[in-house]
Amino acid sequence: MTHLIENTHENNKEAYMETFQEYDSDTMELADWANGEMFGCRWSPENVSFSVEGLRLTIAQDEIGELTGGEWRTRESFGFGKYEVSMKPIKNTGVVSSFFTYTGPSDGTQWDEIDIEFLGYDTTKVQFNYFINGVGNHEYLYDLGFDASEAFHTYGFEWRNDFITWFVDGEPVHTVTEDIPSTPSKIMMNVWPGTGVDEWLGPYDRAIPLVAEYQQISYLP
């Protein structure tokens, strides 16, 4: 269920919250294509499910044996503000479960992105990263002190024109202040097996199905 709250702030946007009880084609988009490169799957809408318990993104296999992943995004773009997700990532080597903001050439903009990524080989850690005009390499791996795959926790970031601060369960854990992206972006989540990136993700063992769970996301200007 989508909730929009009329509360305009610095970027003249409404607050936004989604609990994923049902698909809303006016506000959501499900990927149905392949990114290629390190993404070892094709995105399939069939790998995205909604219920009163929230959103489930699945890594699976189609009828001809090709791997499929799930990707959800907003249709609207959002700018500076605070972004949060309550989620449980996949625990399995070779895969990624994510929450992030993204905009790029497909939106008619430069590539800007802010990431929260769980690398399935070790879900006691979370990786933060960001891109500005396609330039990344800002990875920061944070030791959570718990296994994120075992229970729902809240992860998020506050994005302003002069800093990004990432949070875990409401506590700030990492801040950057240089080369901050500025382009309004879509809120996204996806799950995918890697290919050709074993040094980063570990080798994928083709275990299926694998499921990440998302209870809620929110944005406050």
Given the residues 37, 117, 150, 171, the one annotated as active site: 117
CA distance 214 to 54: 6
Q: Considering the domain 2-220, what is its CATH architecture?
A: Sandwich (2.60)
Is this model's pTM higher than 0.75 or not? yes
Residues 6 or more apart from 178 whose CB is under 8 A from it? none
∠ CA 159-161-164 to the nearest 5 degrees? Answer: 35
Give the mean pLDDT of 130-143: 96
SS (H, E, C) 1-57: CEEEECCCCCCCCCEEEECCCCCCCCCEEECCCCCCCCECCEECHHHEEEECCEEEE
Place of tokens 């030791």: 143
What number is the average pLDDT over the span 79-83?
Answer: 98
Q: Which amino acid is at 9?
A: H
Annotation marks residue 117 as catalytic: yes
Find out whether 14 and 8 touch, Cβ atoms under 8 Å: yes
Give the pairing of strands 153-160 and 81-88: antiparallel
How does residue 12 score in pLDDT terms, banded at 50, 70 and 90?
low
- Give the tens place of pLDDT for each residue, 86-102: 999 999 999 999 999 99
**CB-based burial label for 189 (10 Å; 0-12, 13-18, 19+):** buried
pLDDT of residue 7: 41
Q: What percent of the chain has pLDDT over 90?
A: 90
Confidence grade of residue 150 (pLDDT, cut at 50, 70, 90): very high
Active-site option among 113, 139, 158, 178: 113
Rounded CA separation 162/166 (Å):
14
Each residue of 24-58: pLDDT tens digit?
999 999 999 998 889 999 999 999 999 999 999 99
Q: What is the pLDDT of residues 119-136, one digit of tens each?
A: 999 999 999 999 999 999
pLDDT at 106: 87
The owner of tokens 């944070």 is 142
For residue 179, the number of C-alpha atoms closer than 13 Å in the C-beta half-sphere is 13
